[in-house]
Structure 1
């Protein structure tokens, strides 16, 4: 597909010509938050880079990335920029309706911040009920193939915030800003209400999952909340990227041909 793929790089006339075809439009979402001492805080750049590669392969267009996300528990880390839930919901709704108002219905959200997922679901369900539009979304990092991770890391528990898959993908896609992590610190998870914290969601007590308003710094002041980033490699990041791009491109092709459904029954 010749011509620019980013809507932000098109002139008004170029955009009008391309959008007349009602192409699949990718909306990359990410965050600006602490990721540890080894990868840049702007993980939205990874979502955007993946969207670019999918667009190059599939002919989809790329909307400007939303670089801020909802995750109140990351507010302790300086340099992060978090949105309130109602702010994120309003922003995403306005982004999507900007396309729907022009009859552009083939929209695919590439979500690089898993905590956004419940709010994305809320927005897309509301749009289906009110406008009959069905907007698809993919949570990028939970979609990473377990087989690909096993091929590169064996059975090591590498997944987690500050660990995989973001570290390897950053080493591959953002090599100028990412760096290997030398060693993992000892587990420093704190306590709240005299309960040992399992993570930002809370603690366990005699088999009960106790939900608590934990902040990320109470788990890890340096942003390494889980996983093992010391095993990360650019080679693994390339494999993860290729696998995601391949499957996302296939999804774009499917959405390009899928008929638009009607409204969700009230």
Structure 2
């Protein structure tokens, strides 16, 4: 259940019977021909669907992350590491104060991966609270499903092209873009990175059949449910 569809009294009653909560982490950044909010849309939706059978509250997605390489693309917002650390700490400190003891971050953006270290550091000073970061798109079962459909899949390619991340009236290229050199990309500043990336797709087809995408989605939802069950 979404926090946005609850009031504080309902949440307080929930806390008398359960101490689990989910916080999706997203990003606002270029995704070639897809929505700038791909990572946020997917993180919140997959978390909400996974949590539904458990009745666990899901907070609104944090829509900004760390994505400095895309800074020259209009619409991209990249937070500094210092800001991101502060945000994660503030979220955790507030949740702890209110009585949550089992916290799951469902992450939809690779650039947010340093959150794992931030969480680990916070837990050192806050014993008795379980905090877990789940990168939904590259979790073992989900990534295995992606690779079984097409191993050439990456940022802004077909693997992020779901019915809910497409934009009306925007046509996708038909070709399969060759995979870029990701090691070389990491050495480039934002202006150089934009020149190298072009439209923003790292490599692969731009779109695949919806049946393929729904198979990945159902796998991802099920995998998060397994994580929730083990919290």
In the alignment, the residues of structure 1 paired with residue 4 and residue 214 of structure 2 have an alpha-carbon distance, to the nearest angstrom, of 26
Q: Residues 76-98 of structure 1: CA distance to partner in whole angstroms, max 9, x if unpaired?
A: 10011111111111111111211
Residue 127 of structure 1 corresponds to which residue in structure 2?
A: 122
Residue 225 of structure 1 corresponds to which residue in structure 2?
A: 202
Q: Is contact 1:124-1:134 (8 Å) kept?
A: no
In the alignment, the residues of structure 2 paired with residue 150 and residue 186 of structure 1 have an alpha-carbon distance, to the nearest angstrom, of 16
User: What number of residue pairs does the alignment pair up?
Assistant: 226
TM-score (norm 2): 0.87
RMSD of aligned Cα (Å):
2.4
2:155 maps to which of 161, 180, 194? 161
Q: Residues 175-210 of structure 1: CA distance to partner in whole angstroms, max 9, x if unpaired?
A: 665966232386696xxxxxxxx23x437xxxxxxx
1:148 maps to which of 145, 150, 155? 145
Residue 71 of structure 1, CA deviation: 1.2
Does residue 230 of structure 2 align to residue 235 of structure 1? no
Q: Is contact 1:124-1:135 (8 Å) kept?
A: yes
Residue 148 of structure 1, CA deviation: 2.2
Does residue 222 of structure 2 align to residue 246 of structure 1? yes
Bigger Rg, which one: 1
In the alignment, the residues of structure 2 paired with residue 177 and residue 58 of structure 1 have an alpha-carbon distance, to the nearest angstrom, of 34
Question: CA distance change for structure 1 residues 79 and 249 in 2, over 3 Å: closer, same or farther?
Answer: same
Gapped runs of 5+ residues in structure 1? 190-197, 204-210, 256-266
1:182 maps to which of 144, 152, 173? 173
Q: Is contact 2:71-2:78 (8 Å) kept?
A: yes
1:202 maps to which of 184, 188, 191? 184
The correspondence of residues 27-106 of structure 1 with structure 2, limited to 5 A, is: 27-37=23-33, 39-43=34-38, 44-106=40-102
TM-score (norm 1): 0.77
Residue 109 of structure 1, CA deviation: 0.5
